[in-house]
Chain A
Amino acid sequence: MEILVCVKRVPDTAENEIEVNRDGSDIERDDLVYSVNEWDNYAVEEAIQIRDKVGGAVTVVTVGDEEAEEVLRREMAMGADHGVHLMDDAFEGSDGRAVAAILKAEIEKGSYDLVLTGAMADDGAGQVGGMLAAMLDWPYASVVNKIEVTDGNKIRVGREIEGGNQEMSDIELPCVLSIQTGINEPRYVGIRGIRKVASVDIPVHGTSDLGLAGDTLGAAGARVKRVDYFVPELGEGAEMLEGSTEEIIDKLIELLKAKGGIK
């Protein structure tokens, strides 16, 4: 099976405090630690496991600037066979729809059976996979937490729906799936693994390679425009307990007892 996994380099929310910059035009990007989007990492692991079971190849692709190459190499160190870097000045500031259009152009150059994305990324939109499927006119399933590859041109997928339940469906290939965290346990990638793929050639494709018109992409083509970033004032917030750890704990125990939290 030929599998393409779409990945994104994002600020790592587990490693950073995300703050708004001074004029509210962006988040504060100085000293941010970046990594591969967590959901995408599960998607790559799933693709590798499918390939190891039924054969084929895994390609990882990203739309991003020069620094995005590092996540392609990381996922190739995990075991992806190929990487493709979609990069062009015209792509900068693209919204989810433009990203999907760029990916579609790349997908149509190949012959993929299965395209995976993460269920969501840093902006929480969860939109690229579904848009991509609609543009390709392929079937789609979101928040997938199980994939069973059977014979023929169908696979069985489970979607994680509310209440921890799982919705099972059969979906025809080729298709697009967005992958939920927890579907597998992504393997560890060490420095040695990354070194091994450090010199592997990663082709870079831009607007002319993909036959795209630049003016529909980037910030100018976006239908949904972000005006600013801010931190909302939500009610009063918590009463913060301060003082020495001992004082805090005494106060907390008193509160817990009063609220029935200690039996």
Chain B
Amino acid sequence: MAGQLFAYIAHKNGVADDSALELVTAAAKIQADTGATALVVGSGGDLDTVCNEMAASFEQVWKFDHQALSYPNAEVIRKLLAGLLPADAMILLPHDTFGMDLGPGLSVKMDSAYVPDVVAIEGLEGDQLKAVRQEYSGMVSTHVNCNVGGGAVLTCRPGSFPADESRSAGGQVVDKSSEIGDLTVRRQYIEVVAAEVGDVDITKEDVLVSVGRGIEDQDNIEIAEDLAKAIGSVVSCSRPIVDAKWLEKSRQVGTSGQTVKPKVYLALGISGSFQHMGGIKGNPFIVAVNKNPKAPIFQVADVGVVADILDFIPELTEKIQESK
């Protein structure tokens, strides 16, 4: 018999993260009838706002209010949860930079199984949980089986489970703050340094010419800039281009970069990792050009061209200039 199901609610300034209602959906795939208990961890007045919001979607909300929890330091929260949750708990976390920080170590401290970056849950049969993951930057998927009898920690990929806004659970908020033990850790949070603002604000553009690894060399960025100029847009990029220092960080589209909302998005030599696609909102018209016909980008694009962008972009630019 699998243990009690919990969902960790990420929140900021009194507002629950989008992942919270996605975890409602994920939890229902595991235990349709009982649902999960929401874990709301933090400090101060904002916490009650989040708890009350979550009580609409979860039948039970556990509140942990403590000064040491005012910033979500995964080291502190791991210590809190490992000390308080039942040993056979199944814990759902969002697979973001917080969940990645918390999850692996939590599974060790709870002596439970760890299933990271889950994109689908097929269900629970006895103690066997069946889930779907991806490997090799999303080029292939795998079914995994996990024995959750001794507890489990699952991180769920943001955007993979549709948010369930339909619930009216009328849940109960239980203040568990008095059970909080020692929260001393050896990693102290200092501050968040905001991302640098660049010369161009790609979040305000209607059309983006975005380049990825397929551009191959810094000198080739120029052909993307020429195309952007021809169509009246600007150049953005995927992560490897920023890692290589070919473009500024402020040009990066993705969960670890900017979130953009263009009407048209040209993905040139971009494979289409979920981290990249996570930065594209508003359902734009996506054109993908990639020499690899199996690139995941073709699954999410509206129009695709299998071509080497180093040949294709200059020809496209030339044609556009001629047609003007």
Contact = CB atoms under 8 A, between A and B. Distances in A.
A245 interface: yes
A181 B75 contact: no
A140 interface: yes
A224 B195 contact: no
Contact of A240 (B191, B206, B304): B304
A182 B239 contact: yes
B266 interface: yes
- Residue among A100, A127, A129, A227 with max Cβ neighbours from chain B (10 Å): A127
Nearest to B150: A223
B135 A124 contact: yes
Given A17-B292, A165-B192, A226-B142, A159 B108 contact: no
Contacts of B294: 17, 19
B116 to A, nearest CB: 5
Interface residues of A, number: 81
A259 interface: yes
A259 B263 contact: yes
Interface residues of B, number: 97
Contacts, number: 267
B66 interface: no
B100 interface: yes
Contacts of A255: 285, 287, 303
The dominant DSSP class at the A interface is mixed
A189 interface: no
A238 interface: yes
B240 to A, nearest CB: 8
A152 interface: no
Interface of A: 11, 13-14, 17-20, 27, 96-97, 100, 119, 122-131, 133-135, 138-143, 156, 158-172, 175, 181-182, 185, 223-232, 234-235, 237-241, 245, 248-250, 252-253, 255-256, 259-263
10 contacts: A163-B258, A181-B239, A224-B115, A228-B142, A228-B143, A240-B303, A248-B305, A256-B231, A256-B264, A261-B231
Which 8 pairs, one residue from A and one from B, show the smallest C-beta to C-beta distance?
A130-B104, A263-B232, A164-B195, A238-B304, A134-B105, A261-B264, A134-B108, A182-B243
